[in-house]
């Protein structure tokens, strides 16, 4: 059991009552969408965007509290080769590797967004390699339990980099319910 991850989530919710909603894996084998995991599917567009900001904050908490010693790099913007400034979601270092992750909470990346996202990751990776001598590991992170999407990292793969144990679907479900409760409470939805 990934107690550390559950503990990190519980740091955010001192006294909230939590009802665990079990996630069932559909017969088609596809895993639940992020908003189903967080039980926030009824949110309007604005609150779904805010949910994504909470997910980034949660991911940073996981990095800060990681079993593998991770250092968050406070560089938020970087200038790419054409002189344009690009915002970075998550940047941290473990050992001799610098990790950059673009966090995408929308699993339904449309045909226009996906190439633009991967182009941004490539541009930022290139810019980082001009600043740092360490290996750069760049990618797209979707905080879903597992993903079968090519070139997209799921939650279990990401947390293994940080040194956390892989999660069961039940643990993942519990974390989603806790995070969803935090987000709903923070946004006045409870």
Instruction: Name all contacts of 104-110 with Cβ < 8 Å and 24+ positions apart.
Output: 104/140, 104/141, 104/142, 104/152, 105/34, 105/48, 105/51, 105/52, 105/55, 105/142, 105/143, 106/34, 106/52, 107/33, 107/34, 107/142, 107/144, 108/33
| Structure confidence by residue, pLDDT tens digits, 54-70 | 888 888 888 888 888 88
> What does the pLDDT look like over 77-102, one tens digit per residue?
999 989 999 999 999 999 999 999 99
Domain holding 127, by residue range, is 3-186
Q: What is the CATH number of the domain that holds 76?
A: 3.40.91
Its pTM stands at 0.80
Contacts of 3 (CB under 8 A, 6+ apart): none
- Tens-digit pLDDT profile for residues 5-14: 556 665 554 4
What's the total number of domains in the chain? 1
Helix axes 155-162, 45-64, angle to 10 degrees: 30
């Amino acid at each position: 059991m990934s107690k550390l991850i559950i503990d990190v989530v519980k740091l955010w919710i001192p006294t909230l009552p939590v009802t665990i909603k079990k996630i069932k894996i559909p017969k088609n084998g596809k895993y639940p969408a992020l908003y189903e995991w967080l039980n926030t599917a009824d949110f309007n567009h604005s609150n779904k965007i805010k949910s994504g900001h909470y997910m980034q904050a949660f991911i940073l908490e996981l990095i800060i509290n990681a079993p593998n010693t991770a250092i968050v790099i406070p560089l938020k913007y970087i200038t790419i080769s054409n002189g344009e400034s690009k915002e970075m979601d998550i940047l941290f270092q473990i050992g001799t590797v610098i990790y950059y992750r673009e966090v995408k909470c929308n699993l339904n990346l449309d045909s226009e967004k996906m190439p633009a996202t991967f182009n941004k990751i490539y541009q930022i990776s290139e810019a980082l390699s001009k600043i740092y001598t360490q290996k750069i590991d760049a990618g797209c992170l979707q905080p879903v339990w597992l993903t079968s999407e090519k070139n997209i990292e799921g939650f279990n793969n990401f947390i293994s980099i940080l040194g956390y144990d892989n999660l069961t679907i039940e643990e993942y479900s519990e974390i989603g319910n806790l995070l969803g409760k935090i987000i709903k409470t923070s946004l006045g939805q409870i």
